[in-house]
Amino acid sequence: MQQTEISSVGEFGLIDRITRDLPKYNESTIKSIGDDAAVLNYPETEVLVSSDMLLEGVHFDLTYMPLKHLGYKAAVVNFSDIYAMNGTPRQITVSLGISARFTVEHIEALYSGIRLACEIYGVDLVGGDTTASRSGLVISITCIGDAGKGASVGRDGAKDTDLICVSGDLGAAYMGLQLLEREKTASAGQKDFTPKFEGKEYLVERQLKPEARRDIVAALKSEGITPTSMIDISDGLSSELLHICKASKTGCRIYEDRIPIDYQTAVMAEELGMNLVTAALNGGEDYELLFTVPLHNHEAMQKMDGVKVIGHITRPDLGCAMITRDGAEIELKAQGFNHMA
Amino acid sequence: MQQTEISSVGEFGLIDRITRDLPKYNESTIKSIGDDAAVLNYPETEVLVSSDMLLEGVHFDLTYMPLKHLGYKAAVVNFSDIYAMNGTPRQITVSLGISARFTVEHIEALYSGIRLACEIYGVDLVGGDTTASRSGLVISITCIGDAGKGASVGRDGAKDTDLICVSGDLGAAYMGLQLLEREKTASAGQKDFTPKFEGKEYLVERQLKPEARRDIVAALKSEGITPTSMIDISDGLSSELLHICKASKTGCRIYEDRIPIDYQTAVMAEELGMNLVTAALNGGEDYELLFTVPLHNHEAMQKMDGVKVIGHITRPDLGCAMITRDGAEIELKAQGFNHMA
């Protein structure tokens, strides 16, 4: 494919190319890219704002992460934060730091992923910044969304006896990362290397193309259930559950045998000789929803597709623990996915 | 001063330290740091959103930029974008990428500058992201603000015969950068080096501690004047004026002898053997406001403190040009401050 040096089109030329023919999905978007600020309108809702930064070599490795996937993921993880507030994402701003090795076509590929995510989730790209970077790709996204007045759900509303629920399954994205790293190591120095992903496609997809669980937010709404607290699992179940308990001033009990884990995740953990439950508790980037609902919603939660009740909230003095298969209590710790460790 | 390794307190420990006792200045801030998203409320205004990214080695040099000043500047340049829309900044999210050489105290110094700017401009710090970086400091800020319904001013409203106005003076921040770079070079390898800033304090201050022109936005409001277009000068007068003319589909004429330039800027240009007008036209980071008003506001603009009328808008077929002191017409070009060049 033809590659165009960014310096040959300049910053404004690049911006023109990547923001051409932007669609508009939301009434709340009044004025988009092309001025000092975007103009939005939210007369009847709460406005939600969330920001995330992704750095090359820390959060992603372009050896196995295609730029289009990276763009998609960078957008979706921001949408996930807004859904985790019981909201709907409406706009994003995208700031990019671009080092000299990237061409116009590379940045177009990245943007094609961002735009695909925006299309699928109905979000408008309304602004951002594009600048040179001395060292690798930097992506910083801010997502703006809305929730009905008083309808946003934070981390701080969990109550004693509430049920703890989680969507999807856990640990697969982390196992996908281990798999991709393994194949990267195996491929070093080899030409025509074919990575072995057979039977593990789900793990790779969870790592490279995560989705935000708007379906769960919609299902809860259609059942008339408002969670008492909610968070998305980006740093691992343990860490997120501790956030909820700390903010809500509660304790919790979850049950090892109820933690949802996919078959492929289990096979991969076995292959790598890793503890499966540790991966499910502390592996990052699941982007599933962790939430609490009042006890009387038990039946509704058991019927809800893609959701599992994994435990319950307790008084704070009982602490935060997991009950293992053999009945032992293990204290939960946030050993999670900490890039600063 | 005692230095604390960030790894010893962890990401959440760091966030706790830098976001302790955050004040709240705005009614529109419902819920701040500590959840997946901030919650805001804008029932009766337009919402303005603007994002900027600053990268070490590209936008700032910590050799002469103290971290507190950097934090202040990073926040203020974002506020400037909101004022340039005829709005008021209300909230910011701050995402940081931090490399291993930074300590907790460094990041606290950076935040003390951000918080000082927030205090002076009445803006709430409501969220962001904090992560490791492999290479230097990365700062990405999104600013949210408001303007009355239909009151925001973009780049696209300038009309033939409108007056072109600029606040403050131009080129000083660019000259400050040249001065700082010169002293950095002079200091190389020397101990106890004292940089020579005497008589040039204004230039250094314009580079290290710019302010956003909310006073001009307020003065226009109190005169009952709404600009037809407005932009802040971050990439140089030429480049910004071309943005207005392109968006508004007009031409323009500005007059060399009316471009406001400080005495210190002129002295420094002389010392460095640089063309003074080129510096004023293309030097970046002035963060002054460039705006257009209808011709009948001429008298009011001439009386307004800190504002100068430098030319007028024309029909598009006349192009964009500067009339020099000797009456020649020079086409305006956006050779500006382009980090991607």
B301 versus A196: the higher-pLDDT residue is B301
Residues in chain A: 341
- CB neighbour list of residue A317: distance below 8 Å, 6 or more residues apart: A251
**pLDDT score recorded for residue B116:** 96
Q: Using CA atoms, how far apart are residues A138 and A97, in angstroms rounded to an integer?
A: 5
Residue pLDDT, tens place only, B32-72: 887 888 888 898 899 999 999 999 998 999 988 999 999 99
Please, is A52 exposed, middle or buried when counting C-beta atoms within 10 Å of its C-beta (0-12, 13-18, 19+)? buried
**pLDDT score recorded for residue A338:** 52
> B142 contacts in A (CB within 8 Å)?
49, 51, 93, 142
**Percent of chain A having pLDDT more than 70?**
98
Is B236 an 8 Å CB contact of chain A?
A: no
Band (pLDDT 50/70/90 cuts) for residue A339 is low
**pLDDT score recorded for residue B194:** 81
**Percent of chain A having pLDDT more than 90?**
72
> B94 contacts in A (CB within 8 Å)?
51
**Mean pLDDT for chain B overall:** 91
Q: Using CA atoms, how far apart are residues B73 and A233, in angstroms rounded to an integer?
A: 34
> A341 contacts in B (CB within 8 Å)?
7, 10-11
State whether residue A89 is helix, strand or coil.
strand
CA distance A271 to chain B (A): 30
Entry pTM: 0.92
Residue pLDDT, tens place only, A57-80: 989 999 889 999 999 999 999 999
Please, is B66 exposed, middle or buried when counting C-beta atoms within 10 Å of its C-beta (0-12, 13-18, 19+)? middle
- CB neighbour list of residue A199: distance below 8 Å, 6 or more residues apart: A264, A267
Q: Mean pLDDT throughout A153-173? A: 96
**pLDDT score recorded for residue B337:** 47
Residue pLDDT, tens place only, A219-272: 999 999 999 999 999 989 999 999 999 999 999 999 999 999 999 999 999 999
Q: Mean pLDDT throughout B124-153? A: 91
Band (pLDDT 50/70/90 cuts) for residue B253 is very high
Is A99 an 8 Å CB contact of chain B?
A: no
**What percent of the residues of chain B are helix, what percent strand, and what percent coil, each to the nearest 5?**
35, 25, 40
First CA to last CA distance, chain B: 40
The amino acid present at A251, given as its one-letter code, is G
CB A95, CB B53: distance < 8 Å: yes
Q: Mean pLDDT throughout B80-101? A: 94
The token pair that represents B33 in the structure block: 């740091």
> Which of B32, B40, B47 is the best mutation test for A, with the most CBs of A within 10 A?
B47
Query: Residue B49: which of A12, A127, A140 has the nearest Cβ?
Result: A127
**pLDDT score recorded for residue B134:** 86
C-beta contacts of B331-335 below 8 A and 24+ residues apart: B332/B238, B332/B241, B332/B242, B332/B252, B332/B254, B332/B281, B333/B238, B333/B242, B334/A12, B334/B235, B334/B236, B334/B238, B334/B239, B334/B242, B335/B236, B335/B238, B335/B239, B335/B282
**pLDDT score recorded for residue B250:** 98
Residue pLDDT, tens place only, A99-125: 989 999 999 999 999 999 999 999 999
The lowest-confidence range among A97-101, B323-327, B336-340 is B336-340
**pLDDT score recorded for residue B37:** 84
**pLDDT score recorded for residue B54:** 94
- CB neighbour list of residue A230: distance below 8 Å, 6 or more residues apart: A84, A85, A86, A153, A154, A155, A289, A290, A291, A292, B36
Backbone φ/ψ region at B72: left (φ over 0), alpha (ψ -120 to 50), beta: alpha
Band (pLDDT 50/70/90 cuts) for residue A155 is very high
**Percent of chain B having pLDDT more than 70?**
98
Band (pLDDT 50/70/90 cuts) for residue B338 is low
Residue B248 has pLDDT above 50, yes or no: yes
Q: Mean pLDDT throughout B326-340? A: 76
> B98 contacts in A (CB within 8 Å)?
340
Residue pLDDT, tens place only, A8-34: 888 778 888 888 888 888 888 888 887
> B128 contacts in A (CB within 8 Å)?
51
CB A207, CB A64: distance < 8 Å: no
**pLDDT score recorded for residue B230:** 97
Give the bridge partners for B94, in sequence order.
B128, B141
The interface pTM score, or ipTM, of the predicted complex is 0.90
CA neighbours within 13 Å on the CB side: how many for B98? 28
Give the bridge partners for A144, in sequence order.
A49, A91
**Mean pLDDT for chain A overall:** 91
**pLDDT score recorded for residue A340:** 52
Contact B36 A95 (CB under 8 A): no
**pLDDT score recorded for residue A56:** 94
Radius of gyration of chain B (CA): 21
**pLDDT score recorded for residue A337:** 47
CA distance A134 to chain B (A): 7
**pLDDT score recorded for residue A248:** 96
Backbone angles phi, psi at B323, to 5 degrees: -90, 120
Is B339 an 8 Å CB contact of chain A?
A: yes
**pLDDT score recorded for residue B197:** 86
